[in-house]
């Protein structure tokens, strides 16, 4: 079936898009389902996932807009090592304070999730190969459920890849937990670099979740 025709404009991220992007981050966190399934505290969750991108490298981010509303985003960064360094040096502590201030640690759902996440960490499930030498750029891509399957994700990805080529970035990688989303990236020329399994959402989903790392080299 051909994609639905929807008038969606792709443009660069602007500071006034921040709230809409962070809201969409929470609404689509778990393979397109809301983060409230496993975590209460939208502000903290969105800041942990997208705080670096919107606040420290907004020039690498794009949004999809329909009827004046943000219906999708691609938050990108040219250098994953810089993302990690800034996250540890500048974001992590303020995130901890924000979590204390907003009562995140007082909620049973969050304590259960954080406990499972720590167990997963100590079991080594979060360890991944260092693919950033060949694929330094990273991204998050999410489309509002009502707008999926209409070409918006493809267009955001094309805009980002063309930006990365202009900036002479040699490769891009990303993580997804969804096999269907993985096939979407494979069709866009990405290669599967790594697969793993994680148990930290077993208490919600009653099964382990897979993690797939995909990478794409940027042709000059």
Ligand X SMILES: CC(C)(COP(=O)(O)OP(=O)(O)OC[C@H]1O[C@@H](n2cnc3c(N)ncnc32)[C@H](O)[C@@H]1OP(=O)(O)O)[C@@H](O)C(=O)NCCC(=O)NCCS
H or E stretch covering 95: helix 92-101
Residue choice 22, 140, 198, 216 for contact with ligand X (CB under 6 A): 140
Gap between the terminal Cα atoms of the chain: 34
Q: Is 196 in the site for ligand X (CB under 6 A)?
A: no
Measured CA to CA, the distance from residue 35 to residue 27 in angstroms comes to 6
Q: Which residue is nearest to ligand X (CB)?
A: 153
Interface segment toward ligand X; rule CB under 6 A; list 24-32, 109-117, 119-127, 198-206: 24-32
* 152 lies in the binding site for ligand X (CB under 6 A): yes
Q: State the nearest-atom distance from the C-beta of 6 to ligand X, in Å.
A: 10
Q: Label residues 181-213 b or e (16+ Cβ within 10 Å = b).
A: bbebbeeeebeebeebebbbbeebeeeebebbb
**Helix (H) or strand (E) segment spanning residue 97:** helix 92-101
Member of 49, 80, 141, 169 binding ligand X (CB under 6 A): 141
Write down the least CB distance from residue 87 to ligand X, Å. Answer: 18
2 CB-near residues (< 8 Å, 6+ apart): none
Work out whether 153 is an interface residue with ligand X (CB under 6 A).
yes
Considering the complex, state which of residue 108 and residue 187 has its C-beta at the smaller distance from ligand X. Answer: 187
Residue 77's DSSP bridge partners are: 138
Min. distance of Cβ 135 from ligand X in angstroms?
A: 14
Does 183 bind ligand X (CB under 6 A)? Our answer is yes
Count of beta carbons in the 10 Å neighbourhood of residue 15: 8
- Cα-based torsion angle of the residue sequence 97, 102, 105, 109 in order, rounded to the nearest 10 degrees: -140
Position among 2, 180, 219, 220 found at the interface with ligand X (CB under 6 A): 180
What's the min distance (Å) between Cβ of 171 and ligand X? 16
171 lies in the site for ligand X, by CB under 6 A:
no
Return the number of the residue (111 or 126) whose C-beta is nearest ligand X. Answer: 126
Please list every residue from 26 through 65 that binds ligand X, using CB under 6 A: 28, 31-32
Of the candidates 44, 23, 27, 43, the one whose C-alpha atom is nearest the C-alpha of residue 35 is: 27
**Which residues would be at the binding site for ligand X (CB under 6 A)?**
3, 28, 31-32, 140-143, 148-154, 174, 176, 178, 180-181, 183-184
């Amino acid at each position: 079936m051909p994609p639905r025709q929807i008038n969606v404009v792709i443009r660069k991220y602007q500071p006034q898009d921040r709230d809409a992007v962070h809201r969409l981050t929470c609404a689509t966190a778990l393979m397109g389902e809301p983060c409230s399934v496993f975590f209460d505290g939208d502000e903290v969750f969105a800041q942990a996932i997208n705080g670096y991108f919107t606040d420290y490298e907004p020039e690498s981010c794009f949004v999809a807009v329909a009827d004046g509303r943000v219906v999708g985003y691609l938050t990108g960064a040219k250098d994953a090592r810089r993302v990690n360094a800034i996250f540890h040096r500048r974001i992590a502590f303020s995130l901890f304070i924000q979590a204390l201030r907003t009562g995140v640690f007082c909620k049973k759902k969050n304590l259960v999730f954080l406990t499972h996440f720590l167990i997963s960490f100590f079991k080594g499930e979060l360890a991944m190969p260092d693919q950033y030498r060949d694929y330094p750029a990273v991204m998050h891509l999410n489309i509002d459920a009502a707008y999926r399957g209409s070409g918006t994700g493809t267009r955001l990805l094309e805009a980002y890849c063309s930006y990365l080529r202009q900036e002479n970035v040699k490769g891009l990688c990303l993580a997804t937990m969804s096999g269907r989303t993985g096939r979407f990236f494979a069709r866009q020329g990405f290669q599967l670099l790594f697969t793993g399994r994680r148990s930290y959402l077993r208490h919600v989903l009653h099964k382990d979740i897979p993690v797939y790392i995909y990478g794409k080299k940027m042709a000059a």
